[in-house]
Structure 1
Amino acid sequence: MFLVVTLLFSCSFILSGQAFSDDRVTSLPGLSGKLDFNMYSGYLDASPGTHLHYVFVESENDPAKDPLLLWLNGGPGCSSLLGFFTEQGPFRLNGNSSLDRNPYAWNKVANVIFLESPSGVGYSYSDSGNYTHDDDSTSLDALLAIKSWFNKFQAFKYHAFYLTGESYAGVYIPTLSVRLLEEPDINYVGFAIGNGYLDQYLLGNSMLRFAYYHGLLDSQTWNTIVSSCCNHGDESPDSCNFATNTNPKCVDIVNKANTFINKISLNPYAIYEDCKTSASSSSVMLDKKSSNHSTKVQSYRAKSGWHLIRNTINTVFHKSSHTKVNTDNEKVAGQTIPCVDDTNLINYLSRSDVRDALKIPSTLPDWTDCSETVSSNYKMQYPSLKKQVIASIKAGKRGLIYNGDTDMVCDFLGDEWFSDQLGFKQIGEYEPWYVNNQVAGFVKHYQGFAYATIRGSGHTVPEYRPAAALYMIEKFLARNKLV
């Protein structure tokens, strides 16, 4: 049986007015005990006929003074409710559909908006049913949705506002950031990007090096790669081109390495975690007529961007070979996605009582973690986000680029190279940072931003290393260095 929980009202609700009163969430199926923060779920207006779904949770600390964060999962095409229920949101879903409180939720220290973007993702929709997007249209709709949110929650107008997210949010955030530079009425302060898809070429080049130095390729293969793809056999990043090299010898050995890595069923998002393959050939079977919510769903996602493995390894890493990676397991929405099981979350968010609690129109289809319609029709416009990130930092916006160091899709090497190449002066040395007297990762500071790794974490840092993630974001918001 699911318990109905009445939410407590904070003073910030009184200050904010009534523009969002219809969005207030008064109960969540599966949750026991009272909440000590306010929660809202509803829709924000973007471009004409576009309605983006959001969930907002106030800070458990001091909502009237704490900063405001926007969280975006990636894809493109994956829902930010993944972040809400599996990463840094206030709840964690159990196998029996009960909800536990997350002791490392980011709303311990901040007010957090989770936005399902662009339309067609999760419960966001367009009146026209057209879900063709690109990077520019997505950032514009996100900006319009933010403005719509501030119209509802006017008491937060002067709060320090941050952009946060991961994976393909490495594109979403910089493109949205430069738009916010032209919005003086929004107190935009900075951004934090986790395991970001920040530079297509750099990630394409770093992936092979990551694979070799994590024991996925043998020395004979690596030596052949270096001699075939690097100038004069020089292994340095500046001399090697694994991503766009047209040398036939390089193409052949890169193909060989790629084929080996892809056929071994390794979890590319966290290489030391198991790949859940027990139902890897099963498809989503969702009985929309079921009223008892006993629907069986088999879905496997690549966290916040399943198709990045396709785009990074296949499109970038093997652009020179023109050889298609075997994508038999790369299926979405009615199909399977390798290595991570979202069955329980898909079932939970597709239930009628949960939809009612979140104010979801009954006319919308069931929730999916990642939308094949959006991803397959999405146009990627920016192979590198250096220009946008540099402009944001030069405008005085504080930055944090962080990477779980066991993720091979958006690996730490490529994002560290990206950070180095932005051209800002490094301040101090590369050094460890600690949580509970243990090494949590490593960090180096630049003028205006920091680059950090999280030791032992996969693609979704708040999921794999929640204590370190909360410590890191709290330090960042407080304008304190990790060390």
Structure 2
Amino acid sequence: MGCKLDPIPCIFFLLCSHVLVSNLCHCYYNAEQESNKITSLPGQPAKVDFDQYSGYITVNEEAGRALFYWLTEAPTKRGPESKPLLLWLNGGPGCSSIGYGAVQEIGPFNVNRDGKSLSLNRYTWSHLANLLFLDSPSGTGFSYSNTSSDLYTSGDKRTAEESYIFLVKWFERFPQYKYRDFYIAGESYTGHYGPQLAQIIYEKNKEMENPVINLKGLLLGNILMEDYYDYKGMFDHWWTNGLISDSTFKKLNDGCASSSPVHPSPDCQKALDQATQEKGNIDEESIFTPLCSKNSSSRSSDLHVESYINLPLLFKAYDPCTESYSTAYFNLPQVQKAFHANTTGIPYPWVACSDILYNNWTDSAPTILPIYRELIAAGLRIWIFTGNADSVVPVPSTRYALNALNLPILTDWHPWHIGKKVGGWSRVYEGLSYVIVNGAGHQVPLHSPNEALILLKSFLENNPMPSGGPLFSDS
């Protein structure tokens, strides 16, 4: 019958229009939920100990906008019914949370190099939470709109509003998650998406007697926070790491002082182009690791790599070509069928990031800092982290923005450790914690998966980053 038991076996069921309710326990059966269940994925390991669901939720009937999601629950042995729900959002704008966060970073599977099969991710965040990946806005990943002009009119405001509509409808489809501890996580342009969505949830919840979205906090990495500081810190990082000349450093600071990272002014773009030439063929999101060989993109937003090459033994632990594997995988017809995706027959291939959305973003808030002040005052748990090898949203950008919040410092700058190794550094403010992950790039869970999982554990438990101890164990 496909019931979702929570938490003990049901004995007697009352069949309603779409929910089975027991007088002796809670048992949910939702026809839409059951239709979204994934039986197995092509190339998936034979045995997995968790349930997964994917599908669409319409967020605008008139325009025909629908957002695609993938839910991967915690393993049965870890008790998914007792674990929180964590929403993961990728940035861009226009980059797929399914294609990045789910299969390159924190999900239960990684796509193998053949682009056809999956392997288990030892460091999946589903050890500690049920994971909900959302492609937002429409036009991102498998999410779509029946109104083609929507691809040219997306922006912060509509994305936040329709992500909230998605959540409201999603919780109706998955009522077992109502009132569950709920967190928002993500990276890069999620520095806009996450706080803006959290603000709407907080404001709507104040109007309700018993809100079902039990928002507890945000965990955000390498995020854009304010245009001025984002640029200032980025230029400082380029200069101090010897990536650009003194004269270009001056041109960047002069030409981009009042510009937007999403839509730079002509003078700013000219200086950025000069900086790109001086930096050379490097991965700006991980400046100490190799590129994925040919046709690497020059776009200075979320990761773009093209094809796999044989990597030196030195870099065997990190593969810069993971995006190319996921691109191949999600374009397989049998994969789309298993995911209940592309049901409308979208006439273009799946891509990890939409250049149309990115290049035509209509509204990008120049600062998110006032929203942070509101969320901190609301008592939400807020952690921000940065990989210090990222030059797109580097450490200085975040430090400048955090200093502008002028929060009292509870625990000043200090290292945190994994065993005897320095995992990074941290500072705890009143209402916000900041963590640096040493050696990681823009996608911290991809570059430093063990450190990222320890970070999540500390965040969920609301404990300081560890001063020692073993690596995270998945046993």
**TM-score normalised according to structure 2 size:** 0.80
Question: 1:52 is matched with which residue: 59, 67, 88?
Answer: 67
Partner of 2:345: 363
One-letter identity of the residue aligned with 1:210: H
One-letter identity of the residue aligned with 1:64: E
Q: How far apart are residue 173 of structure 1 and its match? A: 0.7
1:102-251 residue pairs with structure 2 within 5 A? 102-129=121-148, 130-131=150-151, 132-184=153-205, 185=211, 186-217=213-244, 221=246, 243-244=256-257
Does 1:38 pair with 2:57? no
Q: How far apart are residue 424 of structure 1 and its match? A: 1.6
Report if the CA contact (8 A) 1:139-1:175 is conserved: yes
1:357-396 residue pairs with structure 2 within 5 A? 357-360=338-341, 361=343, 363-365=345-347, 366-396=349-379
Report if the CA contact (8 A) 1:390-1:422 is conserved: yes
Report if the CA contact (8 A) 1:8-1:36 is conserved: no
1:65-90 superposed Cα distances (whole Å, 9 cap, x missing partner) = 11111100000011001110101111
Distance between the aligned counterparts of 2:269 and 2:163, measured in 1?
A: 38
Question: 1:351 is matched with which residue: 310, 319, 332?
Answer: 332
Closer/same/farther in 2, CA of residues 448 and 84 from structure 1, 3 Å limit: same
Q: How far apart are residue 342 of structure 1 and its match? A: 2.8
Q: Secondary structure at the match of 2:413?
A: strand
Closer/same/farther in 2, CA of residues 127 and 257 from structure 1, 3 Å limit: closer
Distance between the aligned counterparts of 1:199 and 1:172, measured in 2?
A: 13
Structure 2 unaligned residues grouped into runs of 5+: 10-25, 206-210, 260-265, 307-319, 467-475
Question: 1:479 is matched with which residue: 462, 468, 471?
Answer: 462
Partner of 1:456: 439
One-letter identity of the residue aligned with 2:224: Y
One-letter identity of the residue aligned with 2:199: V
Task: Out of 377-386 and 405-414, give the one that drifted further.
Answer: 377-386
Does 1:24 pair with 2:40? no
Does 1:75 pair with 2:96? no
Closer/same/farther in 2, CA of residues 465 and 136 from structure 1, 3 Å limit: same
Distance between the aligned counterparts of 1:256 and 1:198, measured in 2?
A: 22
Distance between the aligned counterparts of 1:31 and 1:393, measured in 2?
A: 41
Distance between the aligned counterparts of 1:261 and 1:301, measured in 2?
A: 8
Q: How far apart are residue 193 of structure 1 and its match? A: 1.1
Does 1:95 pair with 2:76? no
Q: Secondary structure at the match of 1:30?
A: coil
Q: Secondary structure at the match of 1:112?
A: strand
Closer/same/farther in 2, CA of residues 24 and 210 from structure 1, 3 Å limit: same
Question: 2:79 is matched with which residue: 53, 56, 62?
Answer: 62
Distance between the aligned counterparts of 2:272 and 2:136, measured in 1?
A: 35
Q: How far apart are residue 278 of structure 1 and its match? A: 2.2
Report if the CA contact (8 A) 2:188-2:393 is conserved: yes
Task: Out of 125-134 and 89-98, give the one that drifted further.
Answer: 125-134
Closer/same/farther in 2, CA of residues 443 and 265 from structure 1, 3 Å limit: same
1:113-167 superposed Cα distances (whole Å, 9 cap, x missing partner) = 0000000111111222332211000000000001111001111111111111100
Question: 1:84 is matched with which residue: 85, 92, 102?
Answer: 102
Distance between the aligned counterparts of 1:253 and 1:76, measured in 2?
A: 20
1:416-427 residue pairs with structure 2 within 5 A? 416-427=399-410
Task: Out of 271-280 and 110-119, give the one that drifted further.
Answer: 271-280
Distance between the aligned counterparts of 2:88 and 2:275, measured in 1?
A: 35
1:307-365 superposed Cα distances (whole Å, 9 cap, x missing partner) = 9xxxxxxxxxxxxxxxxxxxxx99xxxxxxxx856332112111111011100115124
Distance between the aligned counterparts of 2:350 and 2:268, measured in 1?
A: 41
Distance between the aligned counterparts of 1:92 and 1:396, measured in 2?
A: 35
Distance between the aligned counterparts of 2:420 and 2:433, measured in 1?
A: 21
Distance between the aligned counterparts of 1:217 and 1:391, measured in 2?
A: 37
Question: 2:282 is matched with which residue: 253, 259, 266?
Answer: 266
Question: 2:423 is matched with which residue: 440, 444, 460?
Answer: 440
One-letter identity of the residue aligned with 2:459: F
- Deviant stretches of 4+, over 4 Å: 7-14, 251-258, 300-304
Report if the CA contact (8 A) 2:256-2:267 is conserved: no
Closer/same/farther in 2, CA of residues 41 and 476 from structure 1, 3 Å limit: same
Does 1:465 pair with 2:448? yes
Closer/same/farther in 2, CA of residues 253 and 394 from structure 1, 3 Å limit: closer
Q: Secondary structure at the match of 2:195?
A: helix
Report if the CA contact (8 A) 1:402-1:452 is conserved: yes
Distance between the aligned counterparts of 1:153 and 1:195, measured in 2?
A: 31
Q: Secondary structure at the match of 2:88?
A: strand
Question: 2:302 is matched with which residue: 292, 295, 305?
Answer: 305
Closer/same/farther in 2, CA of residues 225 and 29 from structure 1, 3 Å limit: closer
Closer/same/farther in 2, CA of residues 301 and 160 from structure 1, 3 Å limit: farther
1:283-322 superposed Cα distances (whole Å, 9 cap, x missing partner) = xxxxxxxxxxxxxxxxx59697259xxxxxxxxxxxxxxx
Report if the CA contact (8 A) 1:301-1:340 is conserved: no
Q: How far apart are residue 45 of structure 1 and its match? A: 2.5
Distance between the aligned counterparts of 2:267 and 2:137, measured in 1?
A: 38
Q: Secondary structure at the match of 2:172?
A: helix
Distance between the aligned counterparts of 2:122 and 2:419, measured in 1?
A: 15
Distance between the aligned counterparts of 1:254 and 1:27, measured in 2?
A: 46
Distance between the aligned counterparts of 2:69 and 2:242, measured in 1?
A: 42
Q: Secondary structure at the match of 1:183?
A: helix
